[in-house]
Amino acid sequence: MLEAVALTKDFGTHRALDALDLRVEAGEIVCLLGANGAGKTTTINLFLGFLEPSAGEARVDGVDVRSDPVGSKRKLLYVPEQIALFGELTGLENLIYFAALSGICDRSPANLRRCLAQAGLADAAMDRRAAGYSKGMRQKVGIALAIAKQARALLLDEPTSGLDPQASAEFHSLVVRQRDAGAAVLMVTHDLFRAREVGTRIGLMREGRLRRMIDAADITASELESLYLEEMGR
Ligand SMILES: Nc1ncnc2c1ncn2[C@@H]1O[C@H](COP(=O)(O)OP(=O)(O)OP(=O)(O)O)[C@@H](O)[C@H]1O
Ligand SMILES: [Mg+2]
């Protein structure tokens, strides 16, 4: 579903991403871990078409993002670290607005309420202004959009950083549910524990290169930590 083929990005003379080869199939969660500046966000931005590759291709559903930027975005849902909502609108009104931007056909309040409920937002919260939402509540509106859009691939860039452990656990179980519904998920995180728990495979990145790809089932949390420290320390 998501495929990077020798994907490379230079900023001036600095190579932020160096010949990344990566596939994320439907029904899979691939987690990317790595030190600050490793090229993780750059990878996500290339899939979103926010950046042009210097070489190689980012493909969504087999199609180069550059050749069909609109069509590929329709299949994707992006959740950044901070979801920006309009504070003066309610959660439901925000979702109606973003659903319109995303070209979602069924924008009836009943359908979008159902999506918000599936994302775990309490009924009472849907009609409150988003200015008063916690970070976890804002992230749930993002997931509700993924549900409404029936996004086939999720691109998550540190979606739970700063969430309390309960909100983080809830968010990850929502992501697992989307995976079980057939979504391909690429998640950037610094949370080794969650990466091992929800990831199918875990990629370790450093200085623009994917150093290692690990099957999450083959490794314990403490083994992952040791491997991570070893790769980052080299
Ligand atoms: N727009 C840009 N212009 C110039 N350099 C950039 C730009 N975006 C990223 N870089 C550089 O590319 C490298 C990779 O950045 P990137 O944001 O992908 O890292 P990251 O792995 O997401 O790190 P973090 O964990 O801190 O979010 C860094 O050296 C960064 O300074
Ligand atoms: Mg980043």
pLDDT in tens, 125-157: 999 999 999 988 998 898 888 888 888 999 999
Mutate to test the pocket of ligand 1, among 15, 20, 41 (most ligand atoms within 8 A of CB): 41
In DSSP terms, 9 is beta-bridged to 17
Range of the domain at 180: 2-83+150-233
Domain with residue 74: its CATH number is 3.40.50.300
Note whether residue 99 is domain-resident: no
Give how many domains the chain has, as a whole number.
Answer: 1
Note whether residue 184 is domain-resident: yes
Mutate to test the pocket of ligand 1, among 22, 36, 210, 232 (most ligand atoms within 8 A of CB): 36
pLDDT tens-digit readout, 5-61: 999 999 999 999 999 999 999 999 999 999 999 999 999 999 999 999 999 999 999
Structure tokens at 153: 């691939």
Contact status, residue 134 vs residue 110, Cβ threshold 8 Å:
no
- Spatial separation of the C-alpha atoms in residues 107 and 95, rounded to whole Å: 9
**Which DSSP symbol is given to 88?**
T
Enumerate residues lining ligand 1, CB below 6 A. 11, 14, 16, 34, 36-42
